[in-house]
Amino acid sequence: MPTSTRVRRMTKLLAAASLTAAFTCAAYAAGPEVVSGPAADPQCFVPWTDQTKFFKFPKKEGPYRIALANGFIGNTWRIQMIKTAKAYADQPDVKAKLKEFKVVSTGEDVAAQIAAVNNFIDSGYDAIVINAQNPTAFTPVIKRAKAKGVILVAFDNILDTEDAINVNVDQKGLGEYWAHWLVNNIPNGGKILEVRGVAGTSVDTDRHNGIHEVLDASGKKWDVVEVVGKWDDGTAQKVSADAIAVQKHFDGITVQGGSTGTVRAFMDAGHPFVPVGGETENGFRKLCAEHSGDGLKCASGGTGPAQVAVAIKTAIAALEGEVVPQSVKLPLATTEDPNFKDGENFYSKEGDNFFVGNAFPTCGINFTAQEIMGQSEANQ
């Protein structure tokens, strides 16, 4: 074949490829098509309400480059979440669909997390999974992702937008669950210690609002003392001890995370056991079971860090052109006194620092401790 003919043919092929790429980018930049449900996997991808929109993105050929942009990393839940994400990405059927899986944690600096997401967009990642430090600060990034055809999936601390997919449990409902436990177990109202999470996050705000709406509607008189525990045992134990030293007595406790540390602070201070609404840490449930007969009456509820795996699963489904809800609702895991059962919903022979119920069976997501603990929480 003459050189000139080869050059013309190569030019045509390159032009066709460029035109195809341009059409693909334009289709993604236009955003997803809003379609009728159900989702491709209706048992896993449950819509938040009957008004939730369903998205269908243009199908993109794999394997995919997916990034996890995490913020705060300084507690057990976040560390277990990062390890769970890596374990899920390592599962053979998932790994086969991934060209690259990148993880970055930026701490509590919102600007740093925004910069990380922008970097992933500029680097050509197909989808970004994000646990957002602030629900409203990412508007410019969301617009850039949409323009570049990058799918955003927020989970846990979600984004206040309909231009990203959100995956979460009913965080406000969890706050309501804890508050109902206190209302039902403290006959005359009283003084409550509320141990909050990381300030400015949607999870902290939603749980706080749920707690107070139930308490305010109960008809009982409540005096709520708030401290910031950052969902961390060590921090929660210190701020709880400080609160006990100042206030002397509490009638009940709600603790968003760091529940084991808060209960230990009360034990160390010699404070009588009171009703507690807390998270799903194994250490917390061990204490609840051990001291139930001594007056420690607990309600333990939350969501396992495995929701990150559901977020990754959702991102892959969206990239494959499957129908997904704009907002996915995951079930809460709850257990209360006297239903704590060793070997079933807590593990007395295991350590304190992991969250029980780290599975979503309806999504085919379940992990052994070995799968998770074999991973690192470091950036990759």
pTM score: 0.86
Tell me the sheet residues that pair with 104. 69
pLDDT of amino acid 350: 87
Tens-digit pLDDT string for the chain (380 aa): 444 544 455 445 444 444 444 444 555 566 799 999 999 999 999 999 999 999 999 999 999 999 999 998 888 999 999 999 999 999 999 999 999 999 999 999 999 999 999 999 999 999 999 999 999 999 999 999 999 999 999 999 999 999 999 999 999 999 999 999 999 999 999 999 999 999 999 999 999 999 999 999 999 999 999 999 999 999 999 999 999 999 999 999 999 999 999 999 999 999 999 999 999 999 999 999 999 999 999 999 998 899 999 999 999 999 999 999 999 999 998 999 999 999 999 999 988 988 987 889 999 998 776 677 677 777 76
Which residues lie closer than 8 Å to 60 by C-beta, 6 or more apart?
A: 24, 28, 126, 319, 320, 321
Specify whether the CB–CB gap between 307 and 360 falls below 8 A.
yes
In a domain, 367, yes or no: no
Tell me the sheet residues that pair with 276. 253, 298
pLDDT of amino acid 353: 87
- 212 with 274, same domain: the answer is yes
Cα first-last separation, the chain:
48
Which CATH number fits the domain that encloses residue 179? 3.40.50.2300
In a domain, 184, yes or no: yes
- 151 with 177, same domain: the answer is no
Q: How far apart are CA 48 and CA 369, in angstroms?
A: 30
- 105 with 237, same domain: the answer is no
Q: Give every strand in the sheet of 33-35, ordered side by side.
A: 33-35, 54-56, 324-325
Q: How far apart are CA 293 and CA 296, in angstroms?
A: 7
- 76 with 159, same domain: the answer is yes
In a domain, 210, yes or no: yes
- 149 with 237, same domain: the answer is no
- 162 with 231, same domain: the answer is no
- 198 with 123, same domain: the answer is no
In a domain, 63, yes or no: yes
pLDDT of amino acid 11: 47
Encoded tokens for 181? 């436990």
Encoded tokens for 325? 């809800």
User: Which backbone phi and psi does 16 adopt, to 5 degrees?
Assistant: -65, -40
Q: How far apart are CA 15 and CA 92, in angstroms?
A: 36
- 218 with 232, same domain: the answer is yes
In a domain, 207, yes or no: yes
Stretch (H or E) spanning 348: none
Specify whether the CB–CB gap between 371 and 87 falls below 8 A.
yes
- 254 with 322, same domain: the answer is no
- 147 with 208, same domain: the answer is no
Given 249, 282, 302, which residue is the final one in a domain?
302
pLDDT of amino acid 15: 43
pLDDT of amino acid 266: 98
Please give the torsion angle defined by the CA atoms of residues 331, 332, 336 and 341, in that order, rounded to the nearest 10 degrees.
70
Q: How far apart are CA 87 and CA 74, in angstroms?
A: 20
Which residues lie closer than 8 Å to 350 by C-beta, 6 or more apart?
A: 282, 369
In a domain, 116, yes or no: yes
Q: How far apart are CA 317 and CA 321, in angstroms?
A: 7
Q: At what angle do helices 233-247 and 259-268 cross, to 10 degrees?
A: 40
pLDDT of amino acid 18: 43
Encoded tokens for 368? 């052994």
Q: Are strands 64-70 and 98-105 parallel, antiparallel or unpaired?
A: parallel
- 111 with 138, same domain: the answer is yes
Which residues lie closer than 8 Å to 87 by C-beta, 6 or more apart?
A: 367, 371, 372, 374, 375
Q: How many structural domains does the chain have? A: 2
pLDDT of amino acid 27: 52
Which residues lie closer than 8 Å to 275 by C-beta, 6 or more apart?
A: 181, 182, 185, 186, 251, 252, 253, 297, 298, 299
Range of the domain at 238: 171-302
In a domain, 150, yes or no: yes
Q: Which of 276, 280, 279, 277 is nearest to 295 (CA)?
A: 276
- 311 with 296, same domain: the answer is no
Helix count (H) and strand count (E) of the chain?
Answer: 12, 17
Specify whether the CB–CB gap between 241 and 268 falls below 8 A.
yes
In a domain, 364, yes or no: no
